[in-house]
Structure 1
């Protein structure tokens, strides 16, 4: 698992997006870098998780998994189901059966 201690997940409901930001140091002092994001479409009874992106520089460090975990944990209390259109989210749910009860099959 990655060291994700400095990772901050920000939810932008108006954009239907969750963003992952990482604290960084720059010449101007402390700042944040955008690591990646997860786009979704909110519907009445479900949330369609459409696309997960992690910038190449940050890939392979566990940030995408932490982003998806945070999104699923945020959705769970609403009682809404998730439609994992995004292949990464679908794979994540397959690997983490504690989230399987939230997922509905993706229409073909």
Structure 2
């Protein structure tokens, strides 16, 4: 089942987080729900993507992929590389090779 609404990605640099917000009210009078987020640590030349969270009741609707794609596109615009510590982000980059040039090996 798909939600009817618009997904927007909000970047909060002070919190080092990107949030996926589902707007279900076309009039903008409420109805916004946070359906997931990506936490990160910003460094001088790279961004460490540490954690992607989609609550269970929003799982399987494609929100994680849309969120991670938007995050990677935003980071690409900054010229920084990414360190995909988060396993979801690692798999996303493996499945979407257009982002492979941004990824730095995760230190073991």
User: What is the TM-score with the length of structure 2 in the denominator?
Assistant: 0.90
Name stretches of at least 5 consecutive residues in structure 2 with no aligned partner.
none
User: Match of 1:72, SS?
Assistant: helix
Where structure 1 has 5 or more consecutive residues not aligned to the other structure, the ranges are none
Q: Which residue of 1 aligns with 2:62?
A: 62
Residue 101 of structure 2 corresponds to 101
Match of 2:53 in 1: 53
Instruction: Show the counterpart of 1:32.
Output: 32
Q: After TM superposition, give the deviation of residue 44 of structure 1 in Å.
A: 0.1
Q: What is the aligned length? A: 104
Aligned to 1:92: 92
Q: How does 1:72-91 map to 2 (within 5 A)?
A: 72-91=72-91
TM-score, length-scaled by structure 1: 0.90
2:4 is the counterpart of 1:7:
no
Runs of 4+ in 1 over 2 A off after TM superposition: 2-5
In proportion to residue count, which structure has more strand?
1
Does the 8 Å contact 2:46/2:83 carry over to 1?
yes
